[in-house]
Amino acid sequence: MDLSRIDARLLSRPGATKALHEKWGWMVYWVGGRQFACEFIVSPDASTMPAASRATSVR
**CB neighbourhood size of 44 (10 A):** 9
Confidence of residue 45 (pLDDT cuts 50, 70, 90): low
Q: What is the pTM assigned to this prediction? A: 0.67
pLDDT for the residue numbered 49: 46
**Per-residue pLDDT at 15:** 96
* Residue 29: Cβ within 10 Å count: 23
Give per-residue pLDDT as tens, 6-36: 889 999 999 999 998 888 778 899 999 999 9
Which residue type sits at 28?
V
In single-letter form, the type of residue at position 35 comes to Q
Per the CB < 8 A criterion, the answer to whether 36 and 30 are in contact is yes
pLDDT band, very low/low/confident/very high, at 40 (cuts 50, 70, 90): confident
Give the pLDDT confidence score for residue 57 in this predicted structure.
Answer: 61
How many structural domains does the chain have? 1
Burial of 37 from C-beta contacts in 10 A (0-12 / 13-18 / 19+): buried
Quote the domain boundaries for residue 39.
Answer: 3-58
